[in-house]
């Protein structure tokens, strides 16, 4: 080791060495620039101030809250509240306006569409799909087949009270279980199912008496689905000549439905969503284009 008090200057670079030497290589003493060090020291001071001012140390069941009482959760809640307040004014306008007023006023329509799009994604897309095209058992909101009606008011009512939701004003329709409850014989179900299928241009089973099927239809089904098969919205009886069938458009699906009908449930959104959002949803779903 070189004597610590003796400064050794490297001849090549003119820089003082640290006195460390490895295999003949000497380490030059090039200290960090002063400005760099001062920023480093300032950072340390800053960090100490930060510990004191802001939440920093985790404790066993809590944490040090800091002198400023800062909380990101509170900030987020305040931001949410501010957002709500900002929307409150136009939200009130939305509640006051009739559904047709909303579609006729560009400013309200823009807001309702944006609000409806967001609410649809959060609340409706899980069943009806993000594009509103539905799945088997969950109605397609894009086409023009409506079981309970597709006007703005119809959609609004469905949204508000739901379907078989348990709400006192809910829409509710019940189809008898012709097979399970023994109301029709198995042959009769085959005949009536083939009749409905034939009217929809689906392939029918060979040797089935379609005329008998029609008779069975008129005696048992026409009361709700209509003599012309076009359904009846007052009782939620679907149009049996629609492009899409809720539970599948095939002979097997028709048979299954007559035999042991399924009935979907849609929740009532009144009380779950605020009235402005329900209205926005009605406008948004109507704008899909299948609305009447």
Residues belonging to the binding site are 124, 127-128, 175, 221, 224-225, 266
Q: Is residue 110 near other proteins by the rule CB under 8 A?
A: yes
160's CB contacts (< 8 A; 6+ apart) are: 169, 268, 269, 270, 278
| Pair 52, 67: CB distance under 8 Å | yes
User: Which of 90, 177, 212, 241 touches other proteins (CB under 8 A)?
Assistant: 241
Q: Is residue 35 near other proteins by the rule CB under 8 A?
A: no
Whole-number minimum distance, CB 230 to other proteins, in Å?
Answer: 10
Q: Is residue 32 near other proteins by the rule CB under 8 A?
A: no
Q: Is residue 14 near other proteins by the rule CB under 8 A?
A: yes
Give the C-alpha separation, 149 to 152, whole Å. Answer: 9
> Judged by CB, which is closer to other proteins: 16, or 143?
143
Three-state secondary structure call for residue 213? helix
| Pair 147, 155: CB distance under 8 Å | no
Strand partners, 25: 22
| Pair 134, 128: CB distance under 8 Å | yes
Whole-number minimum distance, CB 216 to other proteins, in Å?
Answer: 25
| Pair 235, 224: CB distance under 8 Å | yes
User: Which of 23, 31, 44, 168 touches other proteins (CB under 8 A)?
Assistant: 23
Whole-number minimum distance, CB 102 to other proteins, in Å?
Answer: 9
User: Which of 11, 61, 62, 72 touches other proteins (CB under 8 A)?
Assistant: 11
Q: Is residue 121 near other proteins by the rule CB under 8 A?
A: no
Give the C-alpha separation, 177 to 136, whole Å. Answer: 19
> Judged by CB, which is closer to other proteins: 18, or 133?
133
User: Which of 121, 131, 137, 166 touches other proteins (CB under 8 A)?
Assistant: 131
| Pair 49, 66: CB distance under 8 Å | no
Q: How far from chain centre, in Å, is Cα 23?
A: 69
Stretch that binds other proteins, among 53-61, 179-187, 197-205, 237-245 (CB under 8 A): 237-245
Whole-number minimum distance, CB 204 to other proteins, in Å?
Answer: 21
What is the DSSP secondary structure assignment for residue 31, as one 8-state letter? P
Burial label, 66 (beta-carbon count in 10 A; 0-12, 13-18, 19+): middle
What is the DSSP secondary structure assignment for residue 204, as one 8-state letter? -
> Judged by CB, which is closer to other proteins: 268, or 282?
282
Judged by CB under 8 A, the chain residues 140 through 199 that form the site for other proteins are 140, 142-145
Contact positions vs other proteins (CB under 8 A): 11-14, 23-25, 103-104, 106, 109-110, 113, 129-133, 140, 142-145, 239, 241-243, 287-290
């Amino acid at each position: 080791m070189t004597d610590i008090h003796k400064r050794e200057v490297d001849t090549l670079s003119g820089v003082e060495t640290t006195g460390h030497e490895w295999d003949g290589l000497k380490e030059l003493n090039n200290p960090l620039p002063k400005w760099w060090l001062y920023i480093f020291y300032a950072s340390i001071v800053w960090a100490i101030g930060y510990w004191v001012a802001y939440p920093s140390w985790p404790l066993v069941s809590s944490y040090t809250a800091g002198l400023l009482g800062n909380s990101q959760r509170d900030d987020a809640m305040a931001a949410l509240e501010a957002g709500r307040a900002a929307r409150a004014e136009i939200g009130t306008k939305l509640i006051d306006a009739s559904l047709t007023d909303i579609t006729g006023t560009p400013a309200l329509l823009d807001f309702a569409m944006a609000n409806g799009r967001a609410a649809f994604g959060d609340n409706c897309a899980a069943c009806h799909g993000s594009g509103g095209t539905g799945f088997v058992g969950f109605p397609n909101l894009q086409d023009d087949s409506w079981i309970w009606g597709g006007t703005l008011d119809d959609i609004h009512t469905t949204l508000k009270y739901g379907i078989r939701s348990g709400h006192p004003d809910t829409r509710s329709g019940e189809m008898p279980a012709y097979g399970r409850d023994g109301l029709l014989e198995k042959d009769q179900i085959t005949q009536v199912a083939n009749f409905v299928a034939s009217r929809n241009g689906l392939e029918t089973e060979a040797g089935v008496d379609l005329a008998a099927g029609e008779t069975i239809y008129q005696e048992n089904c026409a009361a709700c689905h209509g003599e012309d098969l076009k359904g009846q919205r007052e009782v939620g009886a679907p149009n049996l000549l629609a492009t899409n069938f809720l539970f599948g458009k095939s002979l097997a699906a028709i048979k299954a439905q007559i035999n042991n009908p399924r009935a979907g449930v849609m929740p009532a959104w009144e009380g779950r969503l605020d009235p402005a959002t329900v209205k926005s949803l009605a406008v948004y779903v109507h704008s899909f284009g299948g609305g009447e």
